[in-house]
Amino acid sequence: MATEITVPQLGESVTEGTIAEWLKQPGDAVAVDEPIVSLETDKVAVEVPSPVAGVIEELRAEVGDTVEVGAVLATVSEGGAPAAKGDEANRDQGAGEPGGGKKGAEPAKAKDADSGQAAYGNHDEGTGEGNQTLSPAVRRAVLEYGVDPSSIKGTGKDGRLTKEDVIAAAQSKEGGNKGDSASPAPSPSSTPATVSSGERREERVKMTRMRQTIAKRLKGAQDNAALLTTFNDVDMSAVMEARGKYKDLFAKKHDIKLGFMGFFAKAACLALKDVPAANAYIEGDEIVYHDYVDISVAVSAPNGLVVPVIRDADKKGFAQIEKDIADFGARAKDGTLTMEDMKGGTFTISNGGVFGSLMSTPIINPPQSAVLGLHRIEDRPVAIDGKVEIRPMMYIALSYDHRLIDGREAVTALKIMKEAIEDPTRMLIDL
**Residue 407 · residue 371 · CB < 8 Å:** no
Residues 34 and 118 in one domain: yes
- Contact predicate 351/372, CB 8 Å: no
Is residue 411 within 8 Å of 230, Cβ to Cβ?
yes
One domain for residues 288 and 423: yes
35 lies in the same domain as 169: no
Q: Is 285 left (phi over 0), alpha (psi -120 to 50) or beta?
A: alpha
| CA 239 to centroid of chain Cα atoms | 27
Domain boundary among 101, 130, 159: 130
Q: Same structural domain for residues 387 and 346?
A: yes
Decide: 370 and 280 in contact? Cβ < 8 Å. Answer: no
Tell me, yes or no, whether 163 and 294 share the same domain.
Answer: no
- Residue 256 and residue 179 share a domain: no
Task: Tell me phi and psi for residue 34, to 5 degrees.
Answer: -85, 130
121: number of Cβ within 10 Å: 21
Q: Assign 429 to helix, strand or coil.
A: helix
- Indicate if 406 belongs to the active site: yes
pLDDT digits (tens, 9 = 90+) for 165-217: 888 888 787 665 544 444 444 444 444 455 556 788 888 887 777 778 778 88
> Residues 66-117: pLDDT tens digits?
888 888 989 998 875 444 344 444 444 444 443 444 433 333 333 333 333 3
Q: Which of 172, 190, 206 is the last residue of a domain?
A: 206
Strands 304-306, 299-301: pairing is antiparallel
- Residue 133: the pLDDT is 58
CB 288 within 8 A of CB 276: no
Mean model confidence pLDDT for the chain: 80
Tell me the CATH number at 293.
Answer: 3.30.559.10
Q: How many domains does the chain have?
A: 3
Marked catalytic residue, from 290, 402, 423, 430: 402
Q: Are 326 and 237 in the same domain?
A: yes
Separation of alpha carbons 117 and 249, rounded Å = 47
Give the contacts of 171 (CB within 8 A, at least 6 positions apart): none
**Is residue 418 located within the same domain as residue 311?**
yes
40 lies in the same domain as 75: yes
Catalytic residue among 255, 406, 423, 430: 406
402 is catalytic: yes
The range of the structural domain enclosing residue 417 comes to 214-429
Report the sign of the C-alpha dihedral through residues 186, 187, 189, 195, in that order: positive
Could you read off the pLDDT of 148-167 as tens digits, one per residue?
887 888 887 667 787 778 88
Where among 88, 112, 130 does a domain terminate?
130
Backbone angles phi, psi at 169, to 5 degrees: -65, -40
254 shares its domain with 349: yes
- Cβ atoms 342, 43 nearer than 8 A: yes
* Composition of the chain by helix, strand, coil, percent to 5: 35, 25, 40
Q: What is the pTM of this model?
A: 0.63
Strand partners, 347: 295
Based on the fold, state whether residues 396 and 411 are members of the same structural domain: yes
Give the residue ranges of DSSP H helices in 113-181. Answer: 136-145, 163-179
Q: Residue 190: what pLDDT?
A: 43
| Residue 171 sits in the same domain as residue 277 | no
